[in-house]
Amino acid sequence: MDFRWDLVWSSLPTLLTGARLTIQLTAVSVFFGIIIGTVAGIARISKGPIKAFSAAYIDVIRGTPLLVQTFLIFYGLPSLIQRPIPAYLAAIIALSINSGAYVGEIVRSGIQSIDRGQWEAAASLGHSRRQTMGYIILPQAFRRILPPLGNEFIALLKDSSLVSVIALEELVRKGQIIIGRTFRPFEVWAAVALIYFVMTFTVSRLVNVLERKVAPES
């Protein structure tokens, strides 16, 4: 069977439209995921019920498939609130909650990697725990967790393909639509794979550049 380059080229505009939605979903979800994860990560090193709640959230989300979480948000939650949830909103919620759990562990490990003596030094200067965390610990931790945060972005970029199951027309769903029309799966999936590779490769290079910019001067 000959490889039909003409099909690949004619499909690119449609696939790139799906890729744009994929990037949008990932960027928005990682933004909210970082907010959720930062709160969860700080809570993980706190004391009391908030620590147990954060640990339970991280363990449950990391221990269940993103596909099931998406189904729960899109199909399960509407049965409780008695109103439908738009596919786009359901995807953002599911991806953000999922990302937040992984970012939470990244933030926790980054905070705990900072020398404990810095907490004691800040306390001796009269800084509160909140001031120490906001102005001293988190800025240093951010430099250390930037590479794993970049990896999380790349992982979520690929995992966002799962939202195609709720008929959201991101990259994978666009590919499925084209295959249903042309009956040429190899060419279409090859094009989809190539677009994913270009996106993830670009993100990894951008993360490397950003990492060098925020690295402390030697």
Q: What is the pLDDT along the chain (218 residues), one digit of tens a residue?
A: 688 889 999 999 999 999 999 999 999 999 999 999 999 999 998 888 999 999 999 999 999 999 999 999 999 999 999 999 999 999 999 999 999 999 999 999 999 988 888 888 888 888 888 888 888 888 888 888 888 999 999 999 999 999 999 988 999 999 999 999 999 999 999 999 999 999 999 999 998 888 888 765 54
Q: How many CA atoms lie within 13 A of 84 on its CB side?
A: 4
Domains of the chain: 5-214 (1.10.3720.10)
Which residue is it, tokens 């994860």? 37
pTM above 0.85, yes or no: yes
Note the pLDDT of residue 35.
Answer: 96
Residue 188 near residue 175 (C-beta atoms within 8 A): yes
Distance between CA 87 and CA 164 in Å, rounded? Answer: 10
Distance between CA 140 and CA 17 in Å, rounded? Answer: 38
Distance between CA 144 and CA 146 in Å, rounded? Answer: 6
